[in-house]
Amino acid sequence: MDDTTKLKLKLALGLAGAGTLLLALLAVLQDFPEPRLWALFAAALVFFEWNSVEVNDRLLVSPSVMVTLTAAVVFGPGSATLGVAAMAALGLLTPADLRGRRWFQPLANFGQFVITATVSVFVLELFLPTEVTIDNLWQVALGTAVAASIHSLVQFTIVSWVVHAVYQRREVRPWTQMGSNHASYLAMGFLGGLLGATYLLVGAVTLPLIFTAYFVGHLAFAAYGELREAQEATLRGFVKALEAKDLYTRGHTERVAHFAELIGEQLRYNPAQLQRLRWAALIHDVGKLAVPRELIRKKARLTDEEYAQMQRHVHVVEDILAEVEFLHPMVHIASGHHAHFDGSGYAGGTHSRGDAPTQEMSVLSVADAFDAMTSTRSYRVALSQEYAFTELRRHAGSQFDPRAVEALIAALERTGERYGSTELASEAEARRIAETMEGYRIYG
């Protein structure tokens, strides 16, 4: 058993033990809610836990917190915490865990769910009146909003602590995302409380209507998420398949997208910016697909006529993609990625010459240059990562944005990924390298 497994075992058993202890304690202190009602809410919770949908780029929100808090209000003080903690315990097994025969996630999740539910509903119980009336409705809604907020904080703290302990490789990014995440938790908590109070005041007839509302919203977000994923997968697949026809640029786009994303994460871009950057990277070379291969493969410098011909092809494709309103900002970034940081150098279609590039263009430019240097092209072999770092730093401030350069270097050192040849470029290669940088400026 290696160290990581030992650590995981310790963490999982600790969390699961704490969860079991809490449940036992609650069972002594509180009464169990009406079993049929409990089963109904528990079934709904399990359904939503098993089918969480992506609302925003990488922001997973499931209405489970809403179901939890509706249930807490319905169960009422004296049994809410026990009822909800017992419901939460059911969330421990997910289809993914079952398929992967994982033991760590279910155990850790069990503990995490029970602790989170207990803490948040315990606070909620302080707000809950013994009998809900129209006059103290606001108190219930306020209580559930506070509880949702505590729920999200506790959950996040535990998850980031566990992730950090087990997978030291990466820090958990979401602190930056917590803002928007938190707002939606507050809204869902508020609504969850209101719906619970509605059930108590109006009657059981509201229950199917509330579940219908949850369910349709869930369906709609799932459909939206799938569609968005399909769109990105389609573009990704196309670019990959098209460039696979060319041995030397195979994988280039995927890698540039990866580097651009690393830089963006390091510079703390928000999810929307990251998505834009990823898409821009995916299409940054699409224009070249329309360029006759003999021009791309040509080892000698292009004549002015050939260069103009190539640019024409590239621009026509960019113009077509820019017609898609959604892609317009991405095409703008992609077409400006040749611009130099100080405003000199070539700039494509929608970006006019002489303007300093936007930061997103600079990020893409660095990612593209790094991959150009560390991969083998028709005119030279791959250079080493160290050489690429030195070269990027040397041109930082003139061709490249120094912040983007440092961000890439820091990100790669953090993740430990390595690209390019293992050896430093030798003196004999240096001459070829000069040619390379020249070539890079032309072809990108």
The reply to whether 158 sits near other proteins by the rule CB under 8 A is no
Q: How far is the CB of 418 from other proteins (least distance, A)?
A: 27
Shortest CA distance to 72 belongs to which of 22, 27, 123? 123
Reported as half-sphere exposure (CB side, CA atoms, 13 A), residue 261 has a value of 16
Q: Determine, following the binding rule CB under 8 A, whether residue 251 of this chain makes contact with other proteins.
A: no
- 195 sits near other proteins (criterion: CB under 8 A): yes
101-111 exposure pattern, b = at least 16 Cβ within 10 A, e = fewer: eeebbbbbbbb
What is the rounded distance in angstroms from the CA atom of residue 350 to the CA atom of residue 327? 13
Task: State which residue, 210 or 405, has the beta carbon closest to other proteins.
Answer: 210
By CB under 8 A, tell whether 325 contacts other proteins.
Answer: yes
Report the residue number, 228 or 403, with the smaller CB distance to other proteins.
228
Minimum distance between the CB of residue 133 and other proteins, rounded to whole angstroms? 10
User: Taking the complex as a whole, how short is the minimal distance between the CB of residue 180 and other proteins, in angstroms?
Assistant: 13
For other proteins, which is the closer residue by CB, 26 or 191? 191
Shortest distance (Å) from residue 314 CB to other proteins:
10
Site string for other proteins, 283-312 (x = CB under 8 A): ---x--xxxxxx------------------
The closest alpha carbon to 91, from 46, 38, 44, 51, belongs to 46
Report d(CA 239, CA 338) in Å as an integer: 20
Structure tokens at 135: 């006059």
For 288-353, the DSSP string reads GGGS-HHHHH--SPPPHHHHHHHHHHHHHHHHHHHHSGGGHHHHHHHHTTTS-TTS-S---TTS-T
72 near other proteins (CB under 8 A): no
Applying CB under 8 A, among 323, 342, 413, 435 the residue interacting with other proteins is 323
Q: Which residue has the tokens 């009422």?
A: 76
Among 26, 128, 148, 210, binds other proteins (CB under 8 A): 210
Q: Which is nearer to other proteins, 29 or 316 (CB)?
A: 316
Give the whole-angstrom CA distance, residue 27 versus residue 348.
Answer: 68
**For other proteins, which residue of 69, 107, 310, 317 counts as binding (CB under 8 A)?**
317
Using CA of residue 160, residue 162, residue 163, residue 165, what is the dihedral sign? Answer: positive
- CB neighbours of 179 closer than 8 A, spacing ≥ 6? none
Instruction: Pick the closer one to other proteins by CB: 21 or 187.
Output: 187
In the complex, the smallest distance separating the C-beta of residue 46 from other proteins, rounded to whole angstroms, is 20
Cβ–Cβ < 8 Å for 384, 420: yes
CB of 275 to other proteins, least distance (A): 12
Rounded to whole angstroms, the Cα distance separating 410 from 432 reads 28
Among 187, 272, 308, 424, binds other proteins (CB under 8 A): 187
Write phi, then psi, for 246 (nearest 5 degrees): -115, 115
Please list every residue from 92 through 111 that binds other proteins, using CB under 8 A. none
145 in contact with other proteins (CB under 8 A):
no
User: Which residues of this protein are in contact with other proteins, per CB under 8 A?
Assistant: 134, 137, 187, 190-191, 194-195, 197-198, 201-206, 208-210, 212-214, 216-217, 219-221, 223-224, 227-231, 233-238, 240-242, 245, 286, 289-294, 313, 316-317, 320-321, 323-327
